[in-house]
Amino acid sequence: MKVLEVDLGERSYPIYIGAGILGRDDLIAQHIKGISTVTVSNTTVAPLYLKNIHALISAFKNTDIILPDGEQYKTPETLDLIYTQMLEARCDRKTTLLALGGGVVGDVSGFAAASYQRGINFIQIPTTLLAMVDSSVGGKTGVNHPLGKNMIGAFHQPQCVIIDTETLNTLDDRQLSAGIAEIIKYGYINDLAFIDWLDENMDKLLKRDPEALAYAIHRSCKHKADIVAADEKEAGQRALLNLGHTFGHAIETGMGYGNWLHGEAISAGMVMAAELSQKHGWVSESEVAGIRTLLKKANLPVEPPAEISAEKFSKLMSIDKKVQDGVLHLVLMKSLGESIISSDFDKTALQQVLARA
Ligand code: NAD
Ligand code: GLY
């Protein structure tokens, strides 16, 4: 097992990464402070892994809350369902919430933990590749609004993150690729050597080679932990983690939540960010072609959906957390492997990228 630390002073926490570590009761128990737990999962993940969690927390009074599965349920209504079941079970301020599942379960139940009785402890147990390398680390929690992705939420850091890479064995191929999109993202933010590694090892990742997956997860979590430690509340550089996201969130909202997977939308969104960067002369045509090739190798989409017009894209992108004081900020590529946050991009060039879509 490998352990990484998210260094946030008194709120620092470990990320445990290993194969089969859900079998280790010493990991989880030390992070549960009270006598009661609530385990939130969904109808797909609970039948697979809930019994493993029960075996670890038999010393605590536990309540299970099983949510419907899907991005379309990352809503205030689902949040309310969690609050109701926690109140019915008499959960109190010492209760620890365990989030068992992908990014949807982690985000919505993390927000429940952030807000229930003004905040309780929680533990992230991610079971998708995307949640392992991104959403379970860093404390962003929340739900979607029909008008915009992740618009309602809070920063609330977990007590620990437990990544059992063996849970990936039951994940379907499309979801695995969606997770690889977020892994590739770290390379284009600031780690070109990682891009070379991913290019060489993509087949191994797609075939779920345990060593390759463990390496990619560890390297991704290290990037995320470092950025979060430097800028927890996204005052500056944490926004780099949103490479491709302003375009991608517009795709997810515009196509209806759940139709494009988050990672798929980020993949097409990264290409759009690269195309806009190329229009500024920051990256070359062949570099953008290289980005497309790598994403395609991971079985990811590189074109945005034809259904979203340039006008609709613009409207959707105007409701984004990177709009500040009415000004849109985008994460662009100043050069390959060096992303920047910019509000000073060429607005005509942006329209051209959206129109080409
Ligand atoms: P998801 O949670 O919908 O999971 C994908 C699917 O895989 C679901 O059907 C789920 O039930 C299933 N599943 C989960 N684990 C499984 C397993 N081990 N075996 C079989 N099936 C399994 O999607 P996701 O890609 O994990 O997360 C996407 C969400 O994460 C989006 O809402 C996105 O906005 C959010 N996100 C949040 C952050 C953050 O910092 N908080 C970062 C990135 C993404
Ligand atoms: N996934 C973006 C962030 O955590 O900041």
Q: What is the mean pLDDT of residues 328-353?
A: 95
Q: Which amino acid is at 178?
A: A
> What's the whole-number average pLDDT of the chain?
96
77: number of Cβ within 10 Å: 8
Confidence of residue 229 (pLDDT cuts 50, 70, 90): very high
SS (H, E, C) 220-276: HHHHHHHHHHHCCCCCCHHHHHHCCHHHHHHHHHHHCECCECHHHHHHHHHHHHHHH
218 is catalytic: no
Q: What percent of the chain has pLDDT over 70?
A: 100
Atom of ligand 2 nearest to the CA of 138: 4
Query: In the prediction, which pLDDT does 324 show?
Result: 82
pLDDT band, very low/low/confident/very high, at 130 (cuts 50, 70, 90): very high
Residue 215 has pLDDT above 90, yes or no: yes
Q: Is 312 a catalytic residue?
A: no
Q: Is 118 marked active-site?
A: yes
DSSP 69: P
With 70 as the cut, is the pLDDT of residue 357 above it? Answer: no
What is the Cα–Cα distance from 245 to 233, expressed in whole angstroms?
17
- CATH second-level architecture of 2-170? 3-Layer(aba) Sandwich (3.40)
Summarize pLDDT for 273-313 with one digit per residue, the tens. 999 999 999 999 999 999 999 999 999 999 999 999 999 99
Average of per-residue pLDDT across 202-210? 97
- Residue 322 clears pLDDT 90, i.e. is over it: no
CATH of domain 173-356: 1.20.1090.10
**Domain limits, the chain:** 2-170, 173-356
Same fold, 2-170 and 173-356: no
Mutate to test the pocket of ligand 2, among 128, 130, 134, 240 (most ligand atoms within 8 A of CB): 134
In the annotation, is 150 catalytic?
no
**134 CA closest ligand 2 atom index:** 1
Q: From the CA of 150, how far away is ligand 1's center (Å)?
A: 14
Q: How far is the CA of 141 from the centre of ligand 2 (A)?
A: 10
What is the tens place of the pLDDT at every residue in 29-69? 999 999 999 999 999 999 999 999 999 999 999 999 999 99
Q: Is the Cβ–Cβ distance between 125 and 53 less than 8 Å?
A: yes
Choosing from 185, 245, 322, 329, the catalytic residue is: 245
User: How far, in Å, from the CA of 301 to the mean position of ligand 1?
Assistant: 18
58-113 pLDDT tens trace: 999 999 999 999 999 999 999 999 999 999 999 999 999 999 999 999 999 999 99
Q: How far is the CA of 154 from the centre of ligand 2 (A)?
A: 12
pLDDT digits (tens, 9 = 90+) for 146-186: 988 999 999 999 999 999 999 999 999 999 999 999 999 99
Instruction: Give CA torsion, residues 216, 222, 224, 229, to 10 deg.
Output: 180
* This model's pTM is above 0.85: yes
